[in-house]
């Protein structure tokens, strides 16, 4: 009887051990999902000293994407303007790397230039992204007929395109959710497109039918099941303390033979230029930061605070 009891106790101990392992693994997976990682891979002064004056060749960017991709990140954001074509051979190499990676998001911005607008693929557009509850009220949306738009060769295989326009560089409280790019595709009415942090958010959580429902009486929008306060300019407030939670790496380190790209696993990687001449903005908390950190902090805020309800 005692031997039989010992066998049962051993069996329960084994079951308990494996249950603990499974539970621990599930909790770890949930923790990874609930606490996303955003890395800023910077072209900093150390990078310029080693690889030469910025901007670099498109081949260098292609090599950087390839190196980062080895760590299987969730998304790679090229926060560099690719609106102008360079060498056909190098442009083709970068475009091929974008096609191979399948998880590249590009940046764009509005402008008041008189040049003919570059068309932006309609698969990036948000038709009727803000649903109004009453017709008389119309929310303010940034709009322009021209912009710094990725060249078609880079758009073709990009996962998404997001705009980096902000409303105030002197007392920045948050980011606009969408912009209107007039004559962007074929019609004269224009289309709405996500801001870069919002584009990253919807691709990270694979929200293909993303919509913002705006309630003018309460001044709120619904973001993936969360009710969020919004200003009349459809700008949502960002907790800028997320600036200090961004993980950073120099391009020099990433391209080093000793670097382990596996630290990027399942993360959002933002590649940006961080030189001293990079424009900076004063945040509402008093910090002066560059555009890379504004986008990265806003992205981390969205991913952390507004995880879609019911998604694992």
Lowest-confidence region among 39-43, 137-141, 151-155: 137-141
Average pLDDT over residues 51-70: 95
Query: Do residue 20 and residue 138 come from a single domain?
Result: no
Residue 238, pLDDT > 60, answer: yes
Segments of 128-229 assigned E as strands? 130-132, 142-144, 146-148, 160-163, 174-176, 178-181, 191-194, 212-215, 220-223, 226-229
274 and 144 inside one domain: yes
Confidence of residue 140 (pLDDT cuts 50, 70, 90): confident
146: helix, strand or coil: strand
Q: What is the pLDDT of residue 43?
A: 96
pLDDT attached to residue 236: 93
pLDDT at residue 21, as a whole number: 41
Domain shared by 27 and 44, yes or no: no
12 plus 130 within the same structural domain: no
| pLDDT of the residue at 263 | 97
38-57 pLDDT per residue, tens: 999 999 999 999 999 999 99
Considering only residues 13 and 61, tell me which one the structure prediction assigns the higher pLDDT: 61
Confidence of residue 138 (pLDDT cuts 50, 70, 90): low
Polymer length of the chain: 312
Whether omega for the bond prior to residue 303 falls within 30 degrees of 0, making it cis, is no
Tell me how many domains the chain contains: 2
DSSP string, 34-101: HS--EEEEEE-HHHHHHH-SSS--HHHHHHHHHHHHTT--SEEEEES---S---HHHHHHHHHHHHHH
End-to-end Cα distance, the chain: 46
Residues 15 and 150 in one domain: no
Q: What was the pLDDT predicted at 28?
A: 42
Same domain? For 127 and 24 the reply is no
Which domain does 71 fall in, by range?
Answer: 37-305
Q: Rounded distance, CA 58 to CA 274, Å? A: 17
Same domain for 113 and 13: no
Q: What is the largest CA-CA distance in the chain?
A: 92
Does residue 310 sit within a domain? no
Per DSSP, the three-state class of 131 is strand
Q: Are 2 and 100 contained in the same domain?
A: no
Note whether 216 and 206 are within 8 A (CB): no
**127 or 19: which leads in pLDDT:** 127
For 86, the token pair is 């360079």
Whether residues 118 and 106 share a domain: the answer is: yes
The answer on 252 and 160 residing in a single domain is yes
Confidence of residue 221 (pLDDT cuts 50, 70, 90): confident
Q: How does residue 311 score in pLDDT terms, banded at 50, 70 and 90?
A: low
Same domain? For 132 and 69 the reply is yes
What's the confidence (pLDDT) of residue 182? 79
């Amino acid at each position: 009887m005692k031997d039989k009891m010992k066998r049962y106790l051993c069996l329960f101990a084994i079951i308990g051990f494996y249950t603990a392992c499974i539970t621990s693994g599930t909790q770890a997976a949930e923790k990874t999902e609930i606490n996303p990682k955003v890395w800023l891979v910077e072209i900093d002064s150390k990078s310029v000293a080693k690889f030469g004056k910025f901007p670099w060749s498109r081949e260098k960017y292609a090599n950087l994407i390839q190196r980062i991709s080895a760590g299987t990140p969730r998304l790679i954001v090229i926060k560099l303007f690719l609106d102008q074509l360079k060498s056909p051979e190098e442009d083709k190499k970068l475009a091929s790397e974008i096609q191979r990676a399948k998880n590249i998001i590009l940046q764009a911005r509005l402008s008041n230039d008189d040049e003919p607008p570059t068309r932006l693929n309609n698969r990036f557009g948000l038709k009727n992204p803000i649903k109004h509850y009453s017709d008389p009220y119309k929310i303010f949306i940034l709009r322009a007929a021209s912009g710094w738009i990725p060249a078609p060769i880079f758009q073709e295989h990009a996962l998404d395109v997001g705009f980096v326009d902000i409303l105030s560089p002197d007392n920045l409280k948050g980011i606009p959710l969408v912009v209107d790019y007039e004559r962007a595709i074929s019609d004269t009415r224009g289309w709405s497109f996500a801001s870069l942090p919002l584009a990253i958010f919807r691709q990270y959580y694979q929200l293909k039918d993303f919509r913002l429902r705006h309630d003018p009486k309460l001044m709120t929008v619904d973001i993936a099941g969360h009710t969020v306060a919004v200003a009349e300019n459809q700008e949502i407030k960002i907790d800028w303390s997320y600036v200090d939670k961004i993980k950073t790496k120099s391009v020099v380190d990433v391209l080093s033979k000793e670097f382990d790209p596996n630290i990027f696993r399942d993360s959002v990687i933002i590649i940006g230029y961080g030189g001293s001449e990079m424009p900076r903005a004063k945040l509402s908390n008093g910090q002066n930061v560059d555009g890379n950190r504004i986008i990265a902090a806003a992205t981390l805020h969205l991913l952390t605070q507004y995880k879609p309800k019911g998604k694992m």
